[in-house]
Structures are given as C-alpha cells and as structure tokens.
Structure 1
C-alpha cells in the first residue's frame, strides 16, 4: 500500500541523490541537458527545493512528501512527490515526482502516489493540477494519463502569476520539449 509522509529537512539530501545520482538519473539528467560534468549541486537543489518544502512552514507555497510502501511489515521509501503553488494562479498547483531507482518504475507506485496527493490537495482547496514532463518521457506521460491528466496547450496567463510567466512558461526542458498536462480535481 502506497502512503505519503511529509518529508523532513533530513530527507532533502536523499531526495537530491535520488534525482541526480540513482540508476534512473542518467535518463532524467539527459532530458534536462545535464551530463556527469554539469549536474546541479546540492546547493542549487536547495535553492529550488527550499526549506519550506521539507519543514512544512509554507504549505500554501508547496510541500514535499516521501512515497512509502509497506510490505511484510517493513516500510520502504520509494521516492518523492511534491506540490508547488507559489508561482501559479489561485487554486492551481503543480506536481513533481521521481522514484529512487529504476527498479521502482513500472509498478504503479508513482500513479498511486499522484492519486493520494491529488486527494490531499483537493482537500486544501486546489481544483487543478499541472505537470510538465519531457515529451521524451513516454512512461511518465502514460502514467499521468492513467490518473486522468489531459494534454492541453499551455496558455501561460491561464496558469501562471504574471510575475512568473517569463521564468516558468518554457518549462524545464526548453521550448517545445515538454508536454503540458492538466488534471481537474
């Protein structure tokens, strides 16, 4: 059974490791244009995933959760999922997710974690979730569609606060390299 637990500041370093140094990282790094010589530093990661993601001090802006699974009485951490809202219009949030290794993909863990977090953020008053996977990450796109995300054309002014359009409208992968997906809650 998949559960989410609020991440702590003590979880931030392993979240960084899972994202940039797992056996799944080569694929993710390549999508973002990173090579072994230019992987973001932990200091850079902390700028993107500030303390409030891990200490719960600004829930209105975002929060990280550790995806866990209990099997045979043992609870294992599988990955991380977060929501972020500081840059989006009212009642809209953005999810980000990564699992700690390649062997954790393809089992429905991410799909189930998205469903759990979607239920949580609906309870917080959000009515729309966006995700922006790389167009080359076909497995992620398929998973998000299973949950109910729909591909849409991005109209930045319909999702982003004016002050953040220039910074976030192009996505993480560059112009035309992502798929804009929306889930109505």
Structure 2
C-alpha cells in the first residue's frame, strides 16, 4: 500500500481512502439513506444533513471518531463509501470499526476486504491494539469480508433492538493488532 498519494491517506490496489470533510455531507446522507446500507445499521431512521453535521462536530472534530471516504482508483477516485473507527479509546487502544459501501454498483468488488486491511494498518499506526465490530448475522457477505481481514467472532449478541423497534441477532468480532 502506498501512502499519501494524490491527497489520499492510504492507497490500495482497488481503492484509496481520504479523511472525511464537511463537503462530504451530501454523499454520507445519500449513502446512509440507501435501504441496503440502512438495513445493516442499528440506527435505521432516515439520515439527515443535521444528523451528519452533528456527528461531524461532536465525534469527528473531537477525535472520538476517525472517518474516511472510500474512493475507487480506476474511476477517477469516485467516492463510493466510508470507513471509520468510532468510540476511540486512546488510553486502552481500542475502537469500533465500521464500513459501508454506499454506491450500489461498487458492491461485490472486494473493496470491503481491501479497505479492512488498509484501515487496520492505519489503526495500528495510530496506536490501537484491539479493534472490534458488530454485524447482523444475516449480513454474511460482510462477516466473510471481516473474517478475511482477521476478525474473529467473540460473542453472540441476541435480539439487539434497532431504532425501528425490530430485533435481530448480531455477532461481536475483534482483531488484535
């Protein structure tokens, strides 16, 4: 992986990532309202510009979250999704990992697996020692991608209540760095 190329924080073979900016708000809102994406979040409500701007101000600007935009290398660096570390505990060296591909035509191209490896490398560089994630058990493609990146299942999370009142089983996975 080559770093710091063409304004990107990390460049891979298929995709590159760059830090999110306030100018990405419209894309994030569009992607988070994509039904395919929304169905894989516990928070399933319609995502608004105000929600994202508050997230940016209270989470990203405070360092509690490090978030990036995923761009396709072979399509003039078209933004296609986002990857992030949230609830960063720098003292303990832990954070929750999250990713979503917002553009439907970018799904199934192996971006998730490549991004996971790039993001975990970055996590190690910023001093994280353990990264964890939660995934709905029905999201088998994501679970396979996480397993490829070295995440291992550590716990079943039964009947997690989502913001819409529905309950679904999830798993907790982690990767020691």
TM-score by length of 1: 0.73
TM-score by length of 2: 0.76
* Higher normalized strand content (fraction of residues): 2
* Structure 2 unaligned regions, length at least 5: 1-12
Where relative contact order (Cα < 8 A, 6+ residues apart) is larger, the structure is 1
Moved more, 9-18 or 171-180: 171-180
* Structure 1 unaligned regions, length at least 5: 156-169
| Aligned match of 2:57 | 51
1:42-96 C-alpha deviation (Å, 9 max, x unpaired):
323444x232655xx433x111101112227x22212111111247971111111
SS at match of 2:80: strand
SS at match of 2:27: helix
Q: Distance in 2 between matches of 1:171 and 1:149?
A: 24
| Aligned match of 1:29 | 38
Q: Aligned in 2, Cα 1:30/1:113: closer, same or farther, shift over 3 Å?
A: closer
Asked whether the 8 Å contact 2:97–2:131 carries over to 1, the reply is yes
Q: Distance in 2 between matches of 1:127 and 1:182?
A: 10
Q: Aligned in 2, Cα 1:95/1:43: closer, same or farther, shift over 3 Å?
A: same
Moved more, 111-120 or 84-93: 84-93
SS at match of 1:179: strand
1:24-49 C-alpha deviation (Å, 9 max, x unpaired):
x22333455888xx5243323444x2
Q: How many residues were matched structurally?
A: 160
- Residue in structure 2 matching 1:17, options 24, 30, 45: 30
SS at match of 1:14: helix
* Higher normalized helix content (fraction of residues): 1
Q: Distance in 2 between matches of 1:41 and 1:99?
A: 18
Q: CA RMSD in A?
A: 2.9
